[in-house]
Chain A
Amino acid sequence: QVQLVQSGAEVKKPGASVKVSCKASGYTFTSYDINWVRQATGQGLEWMGWMNPNSGNTGYAQKFQGRVTMTRNTSISTAYMELSSLRSDDTAVYYCARVLNRGGGTYLIGYWGQGTLFTVSS
């Protein structure tokens, strides 16, 4: 079965960077795009960007351009999302999420990781 297992919670200071990992199993990692979505406490879902694990191609939401980097290591079926210049309003749960299928579109999410909470606080 498809599983996405994310790294654990982190606490960071303003201005720092954080890198979240997302280990995929149960399918061919390079065959399905990965999206990253975040959710502040008590708030809605916010799309951050996507990555094609085969080519490494990425696309980021304008809001995060210049601060976010999505990468992967295909040898260990793991995707990464790094966010820099952290601010207090970056405190949220961050999800990696796999597309439902290859024909359904880059942004149709069928599978979600368990989420990673990172807190930005001085």
Chain B
Amino acid sequence: EIVLTQSPGTLSLSPGERATLSCRASQSVSSYLAWYQQKPGQAPRLLIYGASSRATDIPDRFSGSGSGTDFTLTISRLEPEDFAVYYCQQYGSSPPTFGGGTKVEIK
């Protein structure tokens, strides 16, 4: 199974700052990589799929890049509602797997 490693585990930033989250796969997943946001007590929400395509109604401050084994989620300017946990997921091969998550917290 493909292992996804997210870094850092926690990112402490202030509103308005840029956030850069990393996801590395143990083998190539091509572009079958998605990013989800999860807030406390809520289900995850799809942000990005196909490594770089924004899901419906996702603000353009969220962007994804990468292919193969190295991927990045960038939040250009953090809004208060963006402080949450972010997970990457590969969905190109079975079993699909998730990374361990990156928590973006208010500094």
Contacts and interface: CB of A to CB of B under 8 A. Distances in A.
Interface of A: 35, 44-47, 59, 61-62, 95, 97, 100, 104-110, 112-115
A108 B30 CA distance: 14
Given A107-B91, A108-B91, A45 B46 contact: no
B94 A107 contact: yes
B96 A44 contact: no
- The 4 A-B residue pairs with the shortest CB-CB distance, nearest first, are A107-B96, A112-B43, A107-B91, A45-B98
Contacts of A35: 96
A105 B98 contact: no
Contact of B32 (A59, A100, A105, A112): A105
Interface residues of B, number: 22
Interface of B: 32, 34, 36, 43-46, 49-50, 55, 87, 89, 91-92, 94-101
Nearest to B92: A105
Nearest to A61: B95
Chain A contact residues, majority secondary structure: loop
A75 to B, nearest CB: 26
B101 A112 contact: no
Nearest to B98: A45
A59 B95 CA distance: 9
B103 to A, nearest CB: 11
B100 A44 contact: yes
A59 B50 CA distance: 23
Contacts of A59: 94
A47 B87 contact: no
Given A105-B91, A108-B91, A47 B46 contact: no
B99 A110 contact: no
A62 B95 contact: yes
A104 to B, nearest CB: 7
B95 A44 contact: no
B98 A47 contact: yes
A107 B49 CA distance: 11
